[in-house]
Chains A and B, each alone.
Chain A
Amino acid sequence: MITSVNGAFARRFFSSVAAVSLAAVSTVTAPAPAFATEELNALVWCDHTDPALVEPFEKANDVKVNLKDYEGTGAALSILEQSQPGDWDVLVIDGVDVQRAVGLDLLAEIPADKLPTADIFPEVRMEANNMKDGKTYAVTEKFGYNTISFDKTKVDPADMKDLSVIWSDKYKGRIALYDYYLPMIGLVALGLGKKTAELSDADMPAITEKLSEMKKVSKQVSDVVSSQTALATGEVDILVGGGEWITAALSGEKPNLDWTVPDQGAVRWAQSIGVMKASKKQDLALKFVQYIVSPEGQARLATSSCYWAMPANMKAGEHLTDAQKAALRWNDQAEYLKKTQLYPIPSAELDQKMQDAWTDMMQQ
């Protein structure tokens, strides 16, 4: 009773505020450019926010693409939960989490003939992730590795061939850990000789123990900018969880930065893109997805300002320079793909345990 009265009151209050606001908007933002007839809302990873990627699409279709970037699937689901159905048209999501989104009935089916599936590297088509019951819900657009980045003038590159270096004493205090629990726990699992796809509760004690050893020998646990700063300024010499996405952009200034995939392997990430089921602009959203996975879109995405990484469409190679291909290590991909495994896909309970293990590690 009280809440409904409150609610009614609040709604009336909000609507009057909204009316005042609207009046104010029209005066304040009067010179706002009559930009485009239509708008498309996309929830994406930060590499999509590069104007060089999006502007060609906006111009070609006379549309304004509104982009909101997020980190980690949890954050995306949180944002979607806070939105109204129909707020979002396009979603970029971790390849391994597509099934989660499909399970929540978030993604629309994409007709198979609308996608350049044949041009996508077979290893990253990820049918098991992007499809369900024979229907396609998303398409892989970009991939890369969470492995070991290092300064080759300060450490022995041969040591980086063995994953156990990440918890050994040899480089104590010179290691930074990338702050995202999933790939990091995946790396630890690989170092322990486990498969990322088969992780279960029973593996957590051993993983927790190794996390704690890692924390002891590390200098910091950090997000992208702190990791990059630390590596570039010599604060640390090794970044666990790094890869081409963190060193490629610095390759010109800091040729001493390198990355490798150890003998035990490394974790591979892949991002997929799909159309939101509740979108009221299905056709336009699909058009955007098609643009992103087209050879031109893929080349721009691979070298976009937030981070560089391999495009999923092999025809993107035609639009990349040799220097760009070299920075992406285009020709080494076959070997890397063979040696790497996807992110772990934990159940909700295991996911909670992994997050707790990670938070505990930071607090220790």
Chain B
Amino acid sequence: MSTITLEDTERRKAWGFVAPALLWTIAFFVLPFLFMAAMSLWSRESGQIVRAWNLDNYIAFFAKDSLFKGLMNSLEITLIVTVLSVLLAYPLAWIIAERVPKRFQRLALIMAVLPFWTSYVVRSYSWLLVLSKNGVINQTLMTLGVVAEPLEIASNRTATVIGFVHFFVMLLTLTIYANLIQLSPNYRRAAADLGANGLQTFWHVILPLTLPGIMTGAFLTFVLCIGDYVTPQILGGNNELVLPQIVMLQLGRRADFPMAAALSIILMLAVTAAYVLCARWLKIERA
């Protein structure tokens, strides 16, 4: 009998420890989310929120080109950014892990993520200055005679993608590096013993082993990129709108919370789809 009481007190204690975090998450995350999901089924008519349950907002999303295209723009930009960032960050992470002497590795890594500590809003703004017609890049290229006319790299999708890739190269370098240094050199030696050349070793051994790191980073990139408002708003020149910009338009221009909620749910579904695709590589495990 006494063991049961002991277990009971233990269990009660354990619940006591975990409860604050759970309650916080439920009160400020789950509850709001359910609220928003419910609201997405309401509508806004002549300045009032009407609690009539219907799918009008979702129907409008598929019926109105400008809204649906927002999702497409978001997906396209996010995919381009994710792929580019992985392709650019992987070699850098590899060079830091393999080529840079051990005692400088930490420094090299910190340097690679240092601009992360400029304020996020300011970072997009400085890209605006860098990429503009009179900006540093165009001025340099024209002075060197590489191009005769300034490149059209500001206020369009190129600018948005550059702004995003800049941020995510830093992030991915970090996650991929963390993955690379955990690899035992034995794998490579074993592969070499079995007669694999450098490329084969990379393709058949290193890459599969670092895939979880890549996928974790890629998923993080996807989530942060598809939900971001600041970068496309500052750099995109409004030549096309992504979903978060459309959500903010609903809030800022017409206070249409139900529509904003519906669009957010759609955004959420896109992230969930990405999660399902990456799920088998995403785990947190105890050491």
B-binding residues in A (CB < 8 A) = 6, 10, 13-14, 71-72, 74-75, 77-78, 81, 104, 179, 181, 219-223, 225-226, 229-230, 233-235, 348, 351-352, 355-356, 359-360, 362-363
Contacts and interface: CB of A to CB of B under 8 A. Distances in A.
Contacts of B27: 10, 13-14
A13 B23 contact: yes
Contacts of B132: 229-230, 233, 235
Given A104-B47, A179-B238, A220-B155, A226 B128 contact: yes
Interface in B207-261: 233-234, 237-241, 246, 249, 251-255
Interface residues of B, number: 35
Given A233-B132, A233-B135, A362 B239 contact: yes
A230 B155 contact: yes
A221 B252 contact: no
Interface string B117-149: 000000001001100111100000000000000
B64 interface: yes
B135 A362 contact: no
B31 interface: yes
A359 B47 contact: no
B248 to A, nearest CB: 10
Most buried by A among B47, B64, B125, B246: B47
Given A226-B128, A359-B241, A235 B133 contact: yes
Interface of B: 23, 27, 31, 46-47, 64-66, 69-70, 73, 125, 128-129, 132-135, 154-156, 233-234, 237-241, 246, 249, 251-255
A360 B63 CA distance: 13
Nearest to A181: B253
20 contacts: A10-B27, A13-B27, A75-B252, A78-B252, A179-B238, A219-B237, A220-B237, A223-B238, A226-B234, A229-B128, A233-B133, A235-B132, A235-B133, A235-B155, A348-B46, A359-B246, A359-B249, A360-B66, A362-B66, A363-B69
A72 B255 CA distance: 11
Nearest to B69: A363
Nearest to A359: B66
B239 A220 contact: yes
Contacts of A219: 155, 237
Contact of A362 (B31, B234, B241): B241
A235 B154 contact: yes
Most buried by B among A77, A181, A233, A234: A233
Given A233-B135, A234-B134, A363 B65 contact: yes
A74 B135 contact: no
Contact of B133 (A234, A351, A359): A234
A226 B155 contact: yes
Contacts of A77: 47, 255
Nearest to B237: A220
A221 B239 contact: yes
